[in-house]
């Protein structure tokens, strides 16, 4: 049995799961998603925390966070956990720990944050994704650091002015 996971903040908490004993039609893949449009400025960061309950011993289920561009195409996947198989870090019928994730917008644009669970195959054993503490942080101002060549020119100019001043004082 998994340890109890409580919400980190609880103000923006979401839980998504595949339908237990649902037997979806056919042997297809189904995405259960929660998507929110968001306008981000260049350099702004969206972040949150997520965890995954692995309810399937086969590599059929996953929970994830995706960033979509203004045309709905996935451009980033800051977090994913999968069930079963070689790539699963969460053992069958256990939950991962809360994992922090973040993504920084490269340009100002309308994006979409998509939280989801994917299931494939029979869906007899459901898995779940849990999401919390999602927020946007403003871009941090970057103070430019002068190049060494600029500092050298400034130092040479100051030395030249000092030499001229000394020469004028001695004359």
How is residue 113 annotated by DSSP? E
Judge whether 131 lies within some domain.
Answer: yes
Q: In CATH, what number is assigned to the domain containing residue 29?
A: 2.60.120.200
Q: What is the pLDDT of residue 122?
A: 64
Q: What is the pLDDT of residue 147?
A: 63
Judge whether 74 lies within some domain.
Answer: yes
Domain range enclosing 84 = 14-144
Name the pLDDT band for 143 (thresholds 50, 70, 90): low
pLDDT in tens, 78-134: 999 998 877 778 888 889 999 999 999 999 999 999 999 988 766 678 889 999 999
Judge whether 19 lies within some domain.
Answer: yes
Q: 160-170 in b/e burial notation, b at 16+ Cβ within 10 A?
A: eeeeeeeeeee
pLDDT in tens, 56-75: 888 888 999 999 999 999 99
What count of residues does the chain have? 171
Judge whether 170 lies within some domain.
Answer: no
Judge whether 22 lies within some domain.
Answer: yes
Average pLDDT, the chain: 83
Q: How many domains does the chain have?
A: 1
Judge whether 5 lies within some domain.
Answer: no
């Amino acid at each position: 049995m998994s340890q109890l996971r409580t919400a980190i903040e609880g103000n923006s908490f979401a839980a998504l799961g595949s339908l237990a004993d649902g037997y979806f039609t056919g042997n297809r893949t189904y995405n259960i998603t929660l998507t929110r449009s968001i306008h981000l400025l260049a350099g702004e960061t969206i972040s949150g925390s997520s965890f995954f309950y692995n309810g399937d011993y086969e590599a059929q289920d996953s929970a994830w966070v995706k960033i979509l561009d203004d045309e709905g195409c996935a451009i980033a996947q800051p977090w994913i956990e999968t069930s079963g198989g070689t790539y699963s870090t969460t053992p069958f019928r256990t939950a991962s720990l809360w994992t922090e994730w973040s993504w920084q917008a490269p340009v100002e644009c309308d994006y979409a944050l998509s939280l989801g669970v994917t299931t494939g195959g029979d869906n007899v054993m459901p898995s779940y994704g849990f999401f919390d503490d999602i927020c946007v942080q403003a871009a941090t101002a970057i103070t430019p650091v002068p190049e060494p060549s600029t500092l050298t020119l400034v130092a040479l100019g100051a030395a030249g002015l000092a030499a001229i001043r000394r020469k004028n004082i001695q004359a």
